[in-house]
Amino acid sequence: MDYSVTKMQLPSPAKLNLFLHITGRREDGYHELQTLFQFIDLCDTLDFSLTRNDQVTISPIIEELPTEDNLIYKAAKLLTPFKKDATFGIDITLTKQLPMGGGIGGGSSNAATTLLALNVLWECHLSLEKLAELGVQLGADIPVFVMGFAAFAEGVGEKLQKVELDTPYFLLIKPNCHVSTGQIFTDKYLTRDTPPIRISHALKLGGHNDCLDVVKKHNPEVNEAYLWLKNHGDAKLTGTGACLFLAFDNLHDAERVRSFTPKKWQSWVCRGCNTSPTHAALNQWIEQNRGVPHRQHYLSQSFLG
């Protein structure tokens, strides 16, 4: 086993909310919800280099985001008490592809990828459940990225039941706007009393996104893109963000519709995934650099193989 390997590169995928029902509001202001999470193979990339200077550095610097407010930095700091060696530090380089403010979980995914990587590089030896428990302090979407499986989620999004979903191709569109989650969740017209459904209903019949009308009201660009995409099928909004998506049975049809998507919007064709690409890559890294017994230790979920 080669413990001298100090570098790791992992993909950090986006997610879609295939539906999002808001079923209530708690006394602490958080919303109770039900949703179906599925990953897509559109990813950022994170490169990790272990250091011995006890520092967490992130590049490139995002001018509008102080390092201390970056979820990647916050995730690394959460693991600091669990490091095997107090002198361990980390240099992290983010190659960004996922749009910010799109409702596809880019920041949460980056934070979860950081937790997973540093749990290994810093030899923290925490279970996925413990990492998810830590991660939810930073964001309700982080646990699903940590656990790494498509899920029916309840609570604030942290209560997860693994599901096996179809894996269609998706056309993903992002209008040229940034949607504020806080603005959406504090809007007085947001529906907060959708009746809860059973997981069997969710898997068979799906649902809707309670945030759609409020997002369209505050963001005319989203409304315009929604009306355009709706001409081609069952257009949906993911999360509280700006991104809209449409599922296709085959790659050809998805690419065809993308080919005449207005150029003023960003667009991608991607594939649904029931297992996070982060977990697949981390499994491979651990097998190559630590050995199978250590893969089973760090990633103790049977669905990872």
Alpha helices of 122-196 — where are they, by DSSP H? Answer: 128-135, 142-147, 181-185
From the candidates 15, 74, 174, 236, give the one annotated as an active-site residue: 15
Beta bridge partners of 56: 90
From the candidates 74, 141, 210, 236, give the one annotated as an active-site residue: 141
Rounded to an integer, what distance in angstroms lies between the CA atom of residue 218 and that of residue 184? 8
Rounded to an integer, what distance in angstroms lies between the CA atom of residue 12 and that of residue 105? 10
15 noted as active-site residue: yes
Backbone angles phi, psi at 40, to 5 degrees: -125, 160
Intra-chain end-to-end CA distance of the chain, in Å: 20
Are 184 and 253 in contact, with CB atoms under 8 Å apart? no
User: Which residue in 96, 90, 136, 94 sits closest to 112, CA to CA?
Assistant: 136
Are 72 and 111 in contact, with CB atoms under 8 Å apart? yes
Rounded to an integer, what distance in angstroms lies between the CA atom of residue 246 and that of residue 106? 19
The DSSP string of 61-93 is --TTS-GGG-HHHHHHHHHGGG-SSTT-EEEEE
Please tell me the total number of residues recorded for the chain in this structure.
305
28 noted as active-site residue: no
Backbone angles phi, psi at 223, to 5 degrees: -60, -45
Any idea which residues carry the catalytic annotation? 15, 141
